[in-house]
Structure 1
């Protein structure tokens, strides 16, 4: 996989030799402002890649006539659904077996995809991090627990492959998690799960993901995966459309109790 111009720029900056500095007996704090002149040697390294980055960020990918949005005030995170769907789709050929479930974190999605022509820069704004796609094995019971932890953490982290329904009141609620076709999840069955190295490493308080067995790091960043998906749609003459809602059904009073940290399940 060819690195992006932005990744190549970071690598070159890290590899660039530092100018020799005279020894100093005392540390000095120097504010970084426009008054500090550019280093001509560093500029020689940056200039060609900076131009390439500006050109690549403006490269058109695909039309998104409706846009794809994270949702607010209890709305479902359709952007997160799309990302998790692409994660499952990308992971399956890499491991050679069905991937039943995928989960990402809403906090890692930093921008909506606005209606119109999507460009490379839009995907960088959405996913500015170098998080990688990883595949692990969990039991059905652990998948349900992962969904529960995401629900308690943020009202439900974006998932693919399941449907989640909460019924009742904040004081007495029940949680039902099924596969996307409505079939029950066998608690003892072992399934492949796509997630990110960030979540697998313990980020965003979904501890059951750390129990994942046989981790397979794909070496593919989520950003590159999304870029590839958009490019493929555009090349095929298809639009990027938001997934259908309905993966999470959670009453508003329970969502409010989750936000207020007063809900237990």
Structure 2
């Protein structure tokens, strides 16, 4: 066989190889249930154990003490745990807001459903804060004109839920109509503009709080509610929140 013929054969084989295709005709799978019957991988367990221990150590470090157990279901229109959360947001966020704007927050409004756990009697840890607020909700401050403040009050009266508030005092009559409302113990001037601290979920219309959508000015504090809780617990030896008269309904 001469060189020319050999080269021709090589080219034919190579061309035929390029034309060869592989087809995938079938894929099979099966479901593997995750249960106690699955054995753990010791090597993996040993690898992650130091990290798990470190995280648990941080989460379980004692920050404060609670004199009682508090639940969001303890009151009709305001609860001890809700009052505590709203007051914490005001206390921790107002200095940040004032340092940036020279103004004070006028009130705080959170949502009842955002409280995801109780505070148990005894030691309060970082884990407690994560259980109460497992979401990444951040504190924001919305500039609201008086007309939207009026909508906010009407929303609270119609909702008939213990949405946490701070610096606002709202009284309803026996039929859930607004009888009186004050901010920082002063009558509300509906011709003025007020600064309302809330979370980013509510500002974007969560829980149908659509009045926030009409705000044309928003201040993002880069401060998560969970971090505000942890900071407050770190600074506070003992907590003893109470149900008070900040949001009530008269019975006669």
Offset of residue 49 of structure 1: 2.6
Partner of 1:91: 93
Does residue 1:224 correspond to 2:230, yes or no?
no
Contact 1:67 1:241 in 2 (8 A): no
Offset of residue 232 of structure 1: 0.8
Offset of residue 153 of structure 1: 2.5
Offset of residue 161 of structure 1: 1.0
- The counterpart of 2:35, out of the listed 15, 33, 36, is 33
2: CA distance, partners of 1:48 / 1:192: 45
| Higher alpha-carbon deviation: 59-68 or 126-135 | 59-68
1: CA distance, partners of 2:54 / 2:222: 24
- The counterpart of 2:72, out of the listed 70, 73, 81, is 70
Contact 2:87 2:166 in 1 (8 A): yes
| Higher alpha-carbon deviation: 216-225 or 25-34 | 25-34
Offset of residue 209 of structure 1: 1.7
Distance 1:169 1:75, change over 3 A: closer
Distance 1:146 1:48, change over 3 A: farther
Offset of residue 155 of structure 1: 2.5
For normalisation by structure 2, the TM-score amounts to 0.77
Offset of residue 167 of structure 1: 1.0
Partner of 1:190: 193
Distance 1:205 1:175, change over 3 A: farther
SS at match of 2:202: helix
Offset of residue 217 of structure 1: 1.9
Q: Structure 2: any 5+ residue segments left out of the alignment?
A: 1-25
What is the CA RMSD across the aligned residues, in angstroms? 2.9
Contact 1:74 1:252 in 2 (8 A): no
- The counterpart of 1:137, out of the listed 139, 143, 149, is 143
Does residue 1:180 correspond to 2:188, yes or no?
no
**Greater radius of gyration (CA):** 2
Contact 2:173 2:251 in 1 (8 A): no
2: CA distance, partners of 1:38 / 1:106: 40
Offset of residue 137 of structure 1: 0.6
Contact 2:59 2:127 in 1 (8 A): yes
Q: Structure 1: any 5+ residue segments left out of the alignment?
A: 1-23, 254-265
Matched length: 225
Does residue 1:209 correspond to 2:215, yes or no?
no
2: CA distance, partners of 1:66 / 1:107: 21
Offset of residue 188 of structure 1: 1.9
| Correspondence 1:1-265 to 2 at 5 A | 25=27, 29-36=31-38, 46-72=48-74, 74=76, 76-96=78-98, 97-169=103-175, 173-181=177-185, 183-234=186-237, 239-243=238-242, 245-251=244-250
1:131-156 per-position Cα deviation (integer Å, ceiling 9, x unaligned)? 11111111233223223213323424
2: CA distance, partners of 1:176 / 1:245: 16
